[in-house]
Amino acid sequence: MISLFITGGAFFLIEREVPVLFRLMIAWIIFSCVFLILSWMVIFLRQVDQIKKKAVEDDGSTIFVFFMVIISSFTNIFIVLLLMMSKDQTFMENPFFVPLNVAGILLSWAMMHTIYVFHYAHEYYNGTGIKGERFTGGLDFPSEKNPDYMDFAYFSFVMGSTFQVSDVSIVSKRIRRIALVHGVLSFLFNTFVVALTINIIAGLIK
């Protein structure tokens, strides 16, 4: 909510002369920054005993998380695509276009995997099984039975960067399915980024 309020205020405070899509891109970057700062404050500061109690509050339902990931991953890409399809292509001459685009993509990438940090922690400490039964665990961290948010961050960002697990083993069907969706979304995001980068470079060359 704090991120949304700050973003809304920033959108309306940006000069009206700035094109709406550019203002949306800037607002999205501000939202991403605020979200990531607040989220990583929690990740760094929250202790394991607090995580066990607050994991559900820090996360959301599976459907909510899925749509949050979709929005966080592809909003900036969607805005850039709209800009590139618009009749007015003068934005390509704006010196801030490429830096803002790069910042938006990097922040979107970080948001996706940060959201999954909280989701994996929720499932590990207070998950719901495939048939509705309660369970804990689902990930086997070497020499660690009480992982904190940094452990889940390690798992999430490795999954998002390499599309595979590292030394952390998945030992539950539910988390295996969550990791599958996570890996596929990460692959799609990276594919879109590569295609978008090629288009932007081609446009700049012209």
**Average pLDDT of 141-150?**
89
Residue 13: what pLDDT?
59
DSSP conformation letters of the chain: -HHHHHHHHHHHHS-TTS-HHHHHHHHHHHHHHHHHHHHHHHHHH--HHHHHHHHHHHS--HHHHHHHHHHHHHHHHHHHHHHHHSS--GGGG-TTHHHHHHHHHHHHHHHHHHHHHHHHHHHHHHEE-TTS-EE---EEBTTBSS--HHHHHHHHHHHHHHSS--SSEE-SHHHHHHHHHHHHHHHHHHHHHHHHHHHHHHHHH-
The pLDDT, as a whole number, for residue 130 is 46
Is residue 186's pLDDT more than 50?
Answer: yes
Average pLDDT along the chain: 80
pLDDT higher at 41 or 134: 41
Total domains in the chain come to 1
What's residue 126's pLDDT? 77
pTM of the model: 0.83
Average pLDDT over residues 68-81: 80
The residue segments making up the domain with residue 115 are: 2-205
pLDDT digits (tens, 9 = 90+) for 9-30: 655 556 566 677 777 888 888 8
149 has pLDDT over 90: yes
Please return the burial class of 14, using the count of CB atoms within 10 Å of its CB with bins 0-12, 13-18 and 19+. middle
Over residues 89-125, the pLDDT tens digits come to 666 667 777 788 888 889 999 999 999 999 999 889 8
Q: How far apart are CA 163 and CA 157, in angstroms?
A: 9
Question: How confident is residue 63, by pLDDT bands cut at 50, 70 and 90?
Answer: confident
